[in-house]
Amino acid sequence: MQLPWESLVLLVVPPAAIFALALVHWLRAPGEGQGASDECRGEERAA
Amino acid sequence: MGILVVFVLYLIVLAAIGIYCARLNRTLADFVLGGRRLGAWVTALSAQASDMSAWLLIGLPAMAYTNGLAALWAAAGCAMGTAFNWMVVAPRLRRATGEADALTIPDFLAARFAGARGIPVRILAVLVILLAYAAYIAAQFIAAGKTFETAFSNVSTPWGTLKITYHTGMFVGVGIILLYTALGGFLAVAWTDFVQGLLMVATVVVLPIVGLVGLGGFPELWSRLHAANPHLLGVRGAEGATGMAFVMGVVVSQLSWGLGYPGQPHILVRFMALKDPKAMRRAAFIGITWVLLAMWGAIFVGLVGRATLGDLPDTDHVMPSLALGLMPPAVAGVMIAAAIAAMMSTVDSQLLVAASAVEQDIYIRLFGGRARDRRAVWFGRITVVALGAIAIPLAWSGKSVFDKVFDAWGVLAAGIGPVIILGLVSRRANTWGAAAGMLVGGFIAQFWTTVKPLFGGDTLFRNGLIPGFFLNLTVAYLLSLATGGRRRQDTTKET
């Protein structure tokens, strides 16, 4: 018994894509304790 | 008897954490935000455990049991919302609340939208939080009563047969929660949530794997589900919805859970408590991985339950029934304890957020009340117990749980989420826009039954989350532009 293709897509693609995004997001971060990350550059201050 | 021993041990561990953390609360900042000294792992797992509630172990498996793989739409919506929260909201909120020394979400909103001392925005935020949490906390109390009642309906002990009723179960669960939350404050809540998060994810990962091995693998699972109802293998729900019923009733309504994430103060306060803001991306990876494992695992609990258990009289019993059917009694006890853990990890956080709104936002900020150090901590403890006591009558009847959760989630999502996002990413959003947006969004979600004819009745939207969220966002932004954007005084921190 096989799954329909759209079920297989919904089962696999969202978690794989979100996991990959989170992994890249983490790996692209400046080292902890090595200066400010993008989010810490003070958008509030700019305003 | 094995289940009872596991449960009692588990409750003792929670109480011990609360008593240990009680000594660490010296100021109000310690009590409501743990003095901003959480590490990445505790921040990540406690945020996710607070988010998921009993819905993860009871509601989502039941949804998968009934609708099959279509439950994946809700999982995808939640996973996207979680990722948005961690990647966009969390780092900005941690920085902004640290700079403004804001202890609560209304505190942050008042500081960010500080015109007229931020009073309108603070009052509206507190109102939305207390209104939504009254229903939300009551729903979790109901879940506690029902789970205790199910787990201990007939347990043999050396002293005779133990039978816990719904109301006794609720009082036991609520008593333990109030004990460790009131004594230990935020640190106890965060550490117990960390333990509970581990327990929850272990349950929803291990249980379906054991079930799948027992069935003989995926082909047998798909065959049995197909035999029960061919639509269970599709993405269109148990009745194979088509057209608008599929698009709006299945896809959009389930994905819309994800819109709610930026508006949930019990999740957002975890981001505010991270010790080192630069550890946020690591915490994000841990939290997002947890939610993917937990949600997809919970769906497989429901699917394996349908294939293994056949028709159940109450679909909410699928996880406990599967655990009792597949596992030794002591392990099943741990897994059922995970359902209680899921409920506790949400309601403790909500009680603390509601209590901090009463103490910090109403008593101290609005009425100028003075509460310093240990006296402030004791005021917070009394508020936690008082709010818990108020929620008990709301839970007394024991009627449906998850409708209340969805409605409360929608009120927070539509009332608070858009102004949090605008406050963090837009330089133009101002006091008047934020206040009007919260009023419109919160009103639509809270009074959806009355206003839904304006939005096409039940045809398009199941509740007020989607229209409330987008109207809040639109009204807040456009009115901010119309009233001159963010003026100089708006950037001044409220004192």
pLDDT at B487: 54
Where do we find the tokens 């101002």? B430
pLDDT digits (tens, 9 = 90+) for A3-34: 999 999 999 999 999 999 999 999 987 765 45
The answer to whether B432 and B149 have CB atoms below 8 angstroms apart is no
pLDDT at A31: 64
Are A25 and B96 an interchain contact pair (Cβ–Cβ within 8 Å)?
Answer: no
Q: What sign does the dihedral B213-B215-B219-B222 (CA atoms) show?
A: negative
Touching check for B282 and chain A: CB below 8 Å? yes
Below-50 pLDDT ranges, chain B:
488-495
Backbone angles phi, psi at B70, to 5 degrees: -65, -20
C-alpha dist (Å) from residue B47 to B15, B127, B236, B273, B282: 20, 23, 31, 10, 14
Are B235 and A21 an interchain contact pair (Cβ–Cβ within 8 Å)?
Answer: no
**Smallest Cβ distance to B223: which of A1, A33, A44?**
A1
Backbone angles phi, psi at B371, to 5 degrees: -145, 115
For A28-46, give the DSSP string: TSPPTTSS--GGGS-HHHH
Touching check for A32 and chain B: CB below 8 Å? yes
Touching check for B278 and chain A: CB below 8 Å? yes
Residue B184 burial (C-beta neighbours within 10 Å; 0-12, 13-18, 19+): buried
**Which three-class secondary structure state does DSSP give residue B117?**
helix
Residue A19 burial (C-beta neighbours within 10 Å; 0-12, 13-18, 19+): middle
The answer to whether B287 and B194 have CB atoms below 8 angstroms apart is no
**Residue B411's closest CA among B452, B439, B453?**
B439
pLDDT at B491: 45
State the average pLDDT for chain B.
Answer: 88
For residue B38, list its beta bridge partners.
B274
**Smallest Cβ distance to B234: which of A7, A21, A43?**
A7
Residue B94, number of CB atoms within 10 A of its CB = 27
**Residue B27's closest CA among B376, B431, B400, B486?**
B376
Burial B294-320 (b: 16+ CB within 10 A, else e): bbbbbbbbbbbbbbbbeebeebbbbbb
- ipTM over 0.85? The verdict is yes
pLDDT at B485: 66
**DSSP at B316:** G
Touching check for A5 and chain B: CB below 8 Å? no
pLDDT digits (tens, 9 = 90+) for B240-252: 888 888 998 889 9
